[in-house]
Structure 1
Amino acid sequence: MASAFSFCLRCASVSLRRQKRQKEDRRAFSEASGLAKKTARRLAGELFPLSAVKRAVTFQRKDDDLMKYHSALLPLLLILFLLLLGFSACGKTEPMRVCPDLPPLDGTDTADPLEASPQITPETVTPSPIALPPESTEPSHSTSPSPSTSPARDGFYQTPESTALVKTDSFTANLLQLMPKDKNYMVSPLSLQMALGMLANGAEDETRSQLLSALSIKDLAAFNADAKAKIASYNSYDKLSVRLADSLWINETCAPAAAFLPTFEASMTDCFDADSYRVTSDEAVKRINGWVDEKTEGLIDSILQEGQENFVLALVNALYFKGNWATPFSKAATADGTFTSRDGSEVTLPFMTATRSLKYGSGEGYQLLSLPYAGNRFSMYLLLKDDGVFPADLDSYIDSMSFQRVRCRLPRFQTEFALSANETLKLLGAERIFDPENAQLSGVASGFAGNLFVSDILHKTVIDVDEEGTEAAAVTAVMTMATSARPPMEEPIEFNADVPFFFLIRDDETKTVLFVGEYAFGEKE
């Protein structure tokens, strides 16, 4: 509609300017014609032949006709403009926008709108809002019903807030850039996001902003809703075993009066289905490791070691996965083959082999293959990439895949990996959570002196891949301390060797004394 208004205005403007120029030309022509007639009579047509005068008169008549045409056209254009304006006013709810390239009405010469079609540029077009697909690790279908109205099917959770873990592949790519290049490794972006996402609920201001940015979480409330849906979906999925579990721990030895804030604990219970426990330093390592062992079906039996028991609060996430291939590999087809490592060394490994129709994609410098698990909800993706760099736009790689007949050779493998993720998170931009003086975590708990901060982020993973399928687990533990929270110490017993004393060196296993003596006289060095 705006284009029509603009067209009418421009046509009317040009017509007015033409009429003005034609009147001036007509006046000048009349004066010249009169002078020509007088001169012709006087000079007997020597300077202005009669034929020229006739042609001039003919031109004037044609110009008069053209002027009459424009005089008739102008009212019609004005009427059309008023009609369009009236129709627009009847149904329009927004003010009319004037096209930015409307020609000026001050007499400045512009191009005739009838001589060129209007040009549409990106700057003059306002796009309609487009509903973006959920940016989550779950498969999305553009034709599926609204998540808020369609029931869950086959264990797939449906939530309108599933964009919260987005972009998950961005976090994954950023994370993998910081992994070691000289060993096998495996990390769980989901487990890290879940554990640190719990902490973000108690973080404030700059600390929260840094943490959410590092984890590629766009909106914390949406993340919480997504976590709740994902936990419920995974824990009820019956095609294979996939479990998510979370827990909160308070060390009464280091902070006897500490307690999680009601709002924080309610969020952890509601969104993360987290259980709360109170322990002492003496039992902390054993009990937390026991919880980890149970939640990972024994695949990971510990996350803490002796010496890591003096924490104030701990947030722990466990992820367990065990699934059979949709079509298992034949053990009879497994045969030894050569694996060439990154450093060029060659190793003989058992290779599983199968030829079947699988989702496959390829492009410049890469190949991508999908091996589905039973139930077809989960898949293992195998990516061969010439430059060895994990792509930040993995979703686009996956979207371009199609079913093709593929002969797959995959080695059986097992690997374990442990990581203290402090430096990793700092490199991703989350530095403030580790600052003893400036970490803003006051929304987590109360009842202890000093400022709460993260002392360590422990991450551990295990995976086992064979002809039947895959078993894998990951655990993330976020350990916190307070600037003035320390284990209470009993009054020490004094032992001052400032009088003569005996000394000995002994093998405690065999109870053998190696050296013995007495120091009775002080000697200057």
Structure 2
Amino acid sequence: MKITILNTTLGLLTLSLLVSSCDWFGGGTESPVTANIRALEASERELVHSSSQFALDLFQQLRKNGDPNQFYSPYSIHQALALAMNGNEDEVLEEFKNLLHYEGMELENANRAAESLTRYLLELDPKVRLAIANAIWYRQEFQVYTPFKDTVSKYYSAEIAPLDMTNPQSVNVINGWIETNTNGLIKDMLDAIPSNAVMYLVNALYFKGEWKYRFTSTNTAPFYPSPNREVQVEMLQYDEPANLRGYAEGGLHYLEIPYSTGHYNMGIIMSQEHDLDDKMESFNLEKLEFWRENALEQNLILHFPKFIMGYKIENLKEDLQEMGLNLVFEPSTRNFTKLFDHPTEPLAISRVIHDAFIEVDEKGTEAAAATVVEIFTTSAGPQQPRMLRVDKPFVFFIQDNHSGAILFIGQLGDPSQL
């Protein structure tokens, strides 16, 4: 069951025709900040490919539910599932590796790459606030397997603590940690701790970045969820043209809207017709990578949505099963054999909960997401501006321009339902 919670003031994305050009940074007087770019190691590049492939797999899976508006963090889900992966071996471990696209990677190499890539993303842009945190709580009567504890502490900086899961107030410990590590954006994520729960593996992700080219005014304009239906929305507007990278192919238009130094951006994909869903069926990582590599600067005036969106998925279990992760959802002694020091009753994942929030305004974007895995036991040169009117449904994501890591994905299809 998926539950969508939306509360928003929406705008429209359009690109308008102008004949002049200028390149301006943030609209302020501060000196530009240099990003901390370095060449990615081979293992880091492999991990980016793995997490990005998972992100696109998950996108194709979740779009099947038909929600016109969605938002979630595949990076957060990938990290939480990687924590769970480390508690397994043999065929269960292989299912995790296949799901997360770690095929051919040794587990230790994947963990080491996760650590260094996370550090790279955190240090990339001094003006973008990014936080990635992991935590694990386990039933206080249990003893965590030391190698598992050492691995998740070393490579994922996970906080690990026992918890009295029989105390109804213990849920506040986990919810409080999530709220703190998402800057108050994700609240009361867990409803309760079931009596048979033995461990919670949690990831929290927070992003806040100011636009490189700031919006300076707002107005209203129509948005067309379908060809014959119009809704009036609020939108932000550039007063001067900016150089934005874009690419068009097969009736789809790809555009990057940069934050701060330009090394994080919001990418969007829209169709020239009302057939985004049909065209996105064949969308994959190879196509996205080609668009990124071949995008050219375009001199554009941008109008963009001002919106707030919250989206919660109560359980990703069925989606992950369709994606190939099956064994770990059925209680068995083969599951989580590397989790505890002592024998246990058969273990399984009962819920994978995900909650995400995004706010886009004149200054920039603030976004957060959290993922909870619950384990239970069975007891080119300057161009002249041109016009591109984006007034139909579009997909958007927040990504690192250098590594290609995808942090968030969303879709705006019907503003009237926000």
Shorter chain as denominator, the TM-score bin is 0.7 to 0.9
In structure 2, C-alpha distance between the alignment counterparts of 1:424 and 1:380, rounded to whole Å = 26
- In structure 1, the residue matched to 2:159 is 275
Aligned CA-pair RMSD:
2.1
1:297 and 2:165 matched: no
- In structure 2, the residue matched to 1:373 is 259
Q: Which amino acid aligns with 1:166?
A: H
Q: Residues 345 and 182 (structure 1 numbering): CA distance in 2 closer, same or farther, change over 3 Å?
A: farther
Q: Aligned-pair distance for 1:439?
A: 4.7
1:404 and 2:298 matched: yes
Conserved in 1, the CA contact under 8 Å of 2:138 and 2:200? Answer: yes
After superposition, give the CA deviation of every residue in 1:235-278 in whole Å (9 maximum; x if it has no partner).
445221001000110122xxx1x122111111101100011111
Q: Residues 155 and 246 (structure 1 numbering): CA distance in 2 closer, same or farther, change over 3 Å?
A: farther
Normalising by structure 1, we get a TM-score of 0.59
1:363 and 2:249 matched: yes
Pick the structure with greater CA Rg: 1
Q: Residues 194 and 309 (structure 1 numbering): CA distance in 2 closer, same or farther, change over 3 Å?
A: farther
In structure 2, C-alpha distance between the alignment counterparts of 1:171 and 1:158, rounded to whole Å = 19
- In structure 1, the residue matched to 2:311 is 417
In structure 2, C-alpha distance between the alignment counterparts of 1:376 and 1:235, rounded to whole Å = 15
Question: Pick from 29, 36, 58: which aligns with 1:154?
Answer: 36
In structure 2, C-alpha distance between the alignment counterparts of 1:172 and 1:342, rounded to whole Å = 27
Q: Aligned-pair distance for 1:383?
A: 0.6
In structure 2, C-alpha distance between the alignment counterparts of 1:195 and 1:227, rounded to whole Å = 12
Question: Pick from 329, 334, 339: which aligns with 1:444?
Answer: 339
Q: Aligned-pair distance for 1:356?
A: 1.7
Normalising by structure 2, we get a TM-score of 0.74
After TM superposition, the structure 1 stretch with the greater mean CA deviation from structure 2, 334-343 or 291-300, is 334-343
SS of 2:358's equivalent in the other structure is strand
Q: Aligned-pair distance for 1:157?
A: 7.3
Q: Residues 380 and 199 (structure 1 numbering): CA distance in 2 closer, same or farther, change over 3 Å?
A: same
Q: Residues 153 and 378 (structure 1 numbering): CA distance in 2 closer, same or farther, change over 3 Å?
A: closer
Question: Pick from 470, 473, 480: which aligns with 2:368?
Answer: 473
Please list every run of at least 4 consecutive aligned residues from structure 1 whose deviation after the TM superposition is greater than 6 angstroms.
none
In structure 2, C-alpha distance between the alignment counterparts of 1:227 and 1:157, rounded to whole Å = 16
Question: Pick from 215, 228, 233: which aligns with 2:115?
Answer: 228
In structure 1, C-alpha distance between the alignment counterparts of 2:311 and 2:228, rounded to whole Å = 22
Q: Residues 342 and 430 (structure 1 numbering): CA distance in 2 closer, same or farther, change over 3 Å?
A: farther
In structure 2, C-alpha distance between the alignment counterparts of 1:241 and 1:366, rounded to whole Å = 31
Summarize the alignment of residues 235-274 of structure 1 with structure 2, pairs less than 5 Å apart: 235-236=122-123, 237-252=125-140, 256=141, 258-274=142-158
In structure 2, C-alpha distance between the alignment counterparts of 1:438 and 1:352, rounded to whole Å = 55
Q: Aligned-pair distance for 1:364?
A: 1.4
After superposition, give the CA deviation of every residue in 1:24-52 in whole Å (9 maximum; x if it has no partner).
xxxxxxxxxxxxxxxxxxxxxxxxxxxxx
Total equivalences in the alignment: 327
- In structure 2, the residue matched to 1:459 is 354
Q: Which amino acid aligns with 1:221?
A: E
Conserved in 1, the CA contact under 8 Å of 2:35 and 2:263? Answer: no
Q: Aligned-pair distance for 1:460?
A: 0.7
Conserved in 2, the CA contact under 8 Å of 1:164 and 1:222? Answer: no
Q: Aligned-pair distance for 1:230?
A: 2.7
- In structure 2, the residue matched to 1:108 is none
Conserved in 1, the CA contact under 8 Å of 2:50 and 2:100? Answer: no
Q: Residues 433 and 470 (structure 1 numbering): CA distance in 2 closer, same or farther, change over 3 Å?
A: same
Q: Which amino acid aligns with 1:175?
A: L
In structure 1, C-alpha distance between the alignment counterparts of 2:35 and 2:227, rounded to whole Å = 46
In structure 2, C-alpha distance between the alignment counterparts of 1:412 and 1:189, rounded to whole Å = 23
Q: Residues 324 and 153 (structure 1 numbering): CA distance in 2 closer, same or farther, change over 3 Å?
A: closer
- In structure 1, the residue matched to 2:58 is 175
After superposition, give the CA deviation of every residue in 1:182-227 in whole Å (9 maximum; x if it has no partner).
3311121110110101111111111111111112223233321222
In structure 1, C-alpha distance between the alignment counterparts of 2:206 and 2:219, rounded to whole Å = 29
Q: In proportion to residue count, which structure has more helix?
A: 1
Conserved in 2, the CA contact under 8 Å of 1:285 and 1:308? Answer: no
Conserved in 2, the CA contact under 8 Å of 1:260 and 1:444? Answer: yes
Q: Structure 2 regions of 5+ residues with no counterpart?
A: 1-33, 380-418
Q: Residues 462 and 348 (structure 1 numbering): CA distance in 2 closer, same or farther, change over 3 Å?
A: same
After TM superposition, the structure 1 stretch with the greater mean CA deviation from structure 2, 473-482 or 387-396, is 387-396
